Amino acid sequence: MTEPSPTASRDVSASDASLARRGCPVHELKDRLRDVGLRPTRQRISLGWLLFAKGDRHITAEMLYEEAMRARVPVSLATVYNTLHQFTDVGLLRQLAVDGSKSYFDTNMTDHHHFFVEGDEQLIDMPMEIAVGELPKAPPGMEIARVDVIVRLRKSN
């Protein structure tokens, strides 16, 4: 019977540690932040956990700030805004301007459109593909990055 070499046992323990990290949501979030070039600070991890742990959702900075306060995460509203914009800049979130004064942040990064329920101030992912007619030509030196369609809904009489 042969004994495993010392290097083999080190490889197995390193592999086990890697597997354990992959099963931990906090470690996965830290790795995700590092992968996009963001340092996994305590505040980014706390806000990222609040954002991404509940699945696909639409949230405003004010909504996330309220969740952070209820969860006793010590952050300012300015930090929440900065973090949401940083996450958007690196492709972790998508920002949707619904009204001139209100932006929602979407954790679902797939191509999709939205319904906006007026009065409830709620965004809902549109469950179907829609055809968008011919788009105007982009100005010189620019290209169309994506098209966001928001269909506004209200309760019928």
Q: What is the CATH number of the domain that holds 50?
A: 1.10.10.10
Asked if the structure places residue 53 within a domain, the reply is: yes
Q: Is the pLDDT assigned to residue 140 strictly greater than 80?
A: yes
Asked if the structure places residue 32 within a domain, the reply is: yes
| Residues pairing with 102 in the sheet | 99
Number of domains in the chain: 1
- Give how far the C-alpha of residue 155 lies from the chain's centroid of Cα atoms, to the nearest Å: 29
Q: Is the pLDDT assigned to residue 73 strictly greater than 50?
A: yes
Asked if the structure places residue 14 within a domain, the reply is: no
Largest Cα span, the chain: 82
Can you read off the two tokens belonging to residue 20? 């354990």
- Determine the Cα–Cα distance for residues 24 and 20; give it in Å rounded to an integer: 7
Q: Closest by alpha carbon to 90, among 40, 44, 37, 27?
A: 37
Give the predicted TM-score (pTM) of the model.
0.76
CB 18 within 8 A of CB 11: no
- Determine the Cα–Cα distance for residues 124 and 106; give it in Å rounded to an integer: 10
Asked if the structure places residue 15 within a domain, the reply is: no
Which residue segment(s) compose the domain that 115 sits in? Answer: 21-153
Asked if the structure places residue 114 within a domain, the reply is: yes
> If you average pLDDT over residues 99-122, what whole number do you get?
86
CB 60 within 8 A of CB 104: yes
DSSP H stretches of helix in 53-143 = 61-70, 77-89
pLDDT of residue 22: 55
DSSP H stretches of helix in the chain = 6-22, 25-35, 42-52, 61-70, 77-89
DSSP label at residue 37: T
Asked if the structure places residue 5 within a domain, the reply is: no
- % of the chain residues with pLDDT over 70: 85
